[in-house]
A and B are shown apart, each in its own frame.
Chain A
Amino acid sequence: ETGVTQTPRHLVMGMTNKKSLKCEQHLGHNAMYWYKQSAKKPLELMFVYSLEERVENNSVPSRFSPECPNSSHLFLHLHTLQPEDSALYLCASSQGQGGEKLFFGSGTQLSVL
């Protein structure tokens, strides 16, 4: 148990669906992140939030929309995704916003049909 909880663990959605991924951290950290993990590729940083403000959007398509209502919760809203968006989506938190010593959740395995 890392203190970062993601739901759902698995998600299958059609290209016209709207779904949301949820992340909650119980570590008192100030920064939260969304990463995308695809097979045989390095972890790709998508978004960074520090103290509930978005500090980085790493050229992510607008069909991915993050939301950080407070420092403990992070959402990733999904809309009209493509099959190539199928991947493991990982949430992480850290004490600062530098990405040092990240604490990851177990991820949501997303399949877009």
Chain B
Amino acid sequence: GESVGLHLPTLSVQEGDNSIINCAYSNSASDYFIWYKQESGKGPQFIIDIRSNMDKRQGQRVTVLLNKTVKHLSLQIAATQPGDSAVYFCAEGPGGYQKVTFGTGTKLQVIP
């Protein structure tokens, strides 16, 4: 069946370096992809999204890349800061009024 997964459960990054968090998906019909950040003691917080008609989208210090050929999604965080320490989830869905499916999450640890 369809699944959304992450290559690495934990990622440690030096403060100031760039972080790359990867996500694989298996549903080729997925049209909409989202990244959420969940800090300790809080609910997930929307970071950035991308639709399947795009392969790159940039936000403030974050970039999402979509490779539909290999069904791969990544989140790049520039100049990683201690406040970026959190669990990051990718989610995918067919778009429209259909629910999204979440991955298991990658924990990002920023080393001061």
Please give the residue numbers on chain A whose beta carbons come within 8 Å of chain B beta carbons, in ascending order: 2, 4, 40-43, 45, 48, 56, 90, 92, 96-107
**Given A42-B102, A42-B103: A103 and B96 interface contact (C-beta under 8 Å):** no
Q: How many A-B residue pairs have CB under 8 A?
A: 57
**Given A98-B93, A100-B93: A45 and B43 interface contact (C-beta under 8 Å):** no
Contact of B44 among A56, A97, A100, A102 (CB under 8 A): A102
Contact of B104 among A40, A48, A99, A101 (CB under 8 A): A40
Asked if B93 and A43 make an inter-chain contact with CB atoms under 8 angstroms apart, the answer reads no
The prevalent SS among residues of B at the interface is loop
Please give the residue numbers on chain B whose beta carbons come within 8 Å of chain A beta carbons, in ascending order: 4, 32, 34, 36, 41-46, 49, 89, 93, 95-105
Asked if A4 and B43 make an inter-chain contact with CB atoms under 8 angstroms apart, the answer reads yes
**Of B4, B45, B102, most A-chain CB atoms within 10 Å:** B102
Q: How far is the CA of A41 from the CA of B105 in the complex (A)?
A: 8
Q: How far is the CA of A112 from the CA of B61 in the complex (A)?
A: 41
Given pairs A100-B93, A101-B34, A104-B45, 18 additional interface contacts (CB within 8 A): A40-B104, A42-B103, A43-B44, A45-B99, A56-B99, A96-B97, A98-B93, A98-B95, A98-B99, A98-B100, A99-B93, A99-B98, A100-B34, A100-B95, A102-B46, A106-B41, A106-B42, A106-B43
Contact of B99 among A42, A99, A101, A105 (CB under 8 A): A99
Q: How far is the CA of A92 from the CA of B102 in the complex (A)?
A: 14
Q: How far is the CA of A97 from the CA of B42 in the complex (A)?
A: 22
Contact of A42 among B4, B34, B42, B97 (CB under 8 A): B4
Contact of A48 among B95, B99, B101, B105 (CB under 8 A): B99
Smallest CB gap from B105: residue in A: A42
10 A-B pairs in the complex with CB atoms less than 8 angstroms apart: A40-B104, A42-B104, A45-B99, A90-B43, A98-B95, A99-B99, A102-B36, A102-B46, A104-B43, A106-B41
